[in-house]
A and B are shown apart, each in its own frame.
Chain A
């Protein structure tokens, strides 16, 4: 079955560490996105990519980095510069560049700073 796979499901980060969240899709979707969700709040856009080797900053890109070397993969690195990284991270993909058909989401990664 086609879908989006995020790993790991839970991740614990020590202060000062960089960690990378994986997102892989086999839907042949062009565009991929990373959102962050804090408790009781909506989703906020971190980065998005509409084609391989190209990506754009979202509303809260500071402290994060991404790459899009393959159509199927869009990993997110949470760097030590991100001061409050504890959150639920969601990866999504869409068929068209304008997401006119909506998104398909992965099941998310819960990141906790210890």
Chain B
């Protein structure tokens, strides 16, 4: 089983739609969780950290479910500029982050 698993997609959604991504992780002792965004042929950029209480940043909401070992990212009112690959990232106890393979989102006009 992979340490961090994501549905690769692609998710094709119309502008204005709400879309949600899930990610599961295998290490129950993991303490830090993040969502990164990666545009084609670019470096990943931190979108948001994920806290136990859940957190929101504008149209983006991240949640953590420790009991089921998954994190989620919800994007409301999708924009064309949201088209990218979203990487689920988990600290797995070895002092380096582990990245999921990414979920590709394509927002269509």
Is A85 among interface residues, defined by CB-CB distance under 8 A? Answer: no
- The answer, among B36, B43, B46, B98, for a CB contact under 8 Å with A108, is B43
Is B101 among interface residues, defined by CB-CB distance under 8 A? Answer: yes
CA distance A98 to B33 in the complex (A): 12
**What residues of B have a CB within 8 angstroms of the CB of A103 in the complex?**
44, 46, 97
Is B62 among interface residues, defined by CB-CB distance under 8 A? Answer: no
Q: Please count the residue pairs between chain A and chain B whose beta carbons lie under 8 angstroms apart in the complex.
A: 59
Is A63 among interface residues, defined by CB-CB distance under 8 A? Answer: no
- The answer, among B49, B98, B102, for a CB contact under 8 Å with A102, is B49
**What residues of B have a CB within 8 angstroms of the CB of A56 in the complex?**
95
Closest chain-B Cβ to A44's Cβ sits at a distance in Å of 8
CA distance A14 to B100 in the complex (A): 31
Best-buried of A58, A102, A105, A108 by chain B (most CB within 10 Å): A102
CB contacts under 8 Å to B, within A73-114, are: 88, 90, 97-108
Number of interface residues of A (CB under 8 A): 26
Is A2 among interface residues, defined by CB-CB distance under 8 A? Answer: no
**What residues of A have a CB within 8 angstroms of the CB of B95 in the complex?**
31, 48, 50, 56, 97-99
Best-buried of A31, A43, A90, A108 by chain B (most CB within 10 Å): A43
Closest chain-B Cβ to A53's Cβ sits at a distance in Å of 17
In the complex, residue of chain A having the shortest beta-carbon distance to the beta carbon of B8:
A40
**What residues of A have a CB within 8 angstroms of the CB of B34 in the complex?**
102
**What residues of B have a CB within 8 angstroms of the CB of A105 in the complex?**
43-45
Q: Residues of A at under 8 Å CB distance from B?
A: 31, 33, 35, 40-43, 45, 48, 50, 56, 58, 88, 90, 97-108
Q: Residues of B at under 8 Å CB distance from A?
A: 4, 8, 31-32, 34, 36, 41-46, 49, 87, 89, 91, 95-102
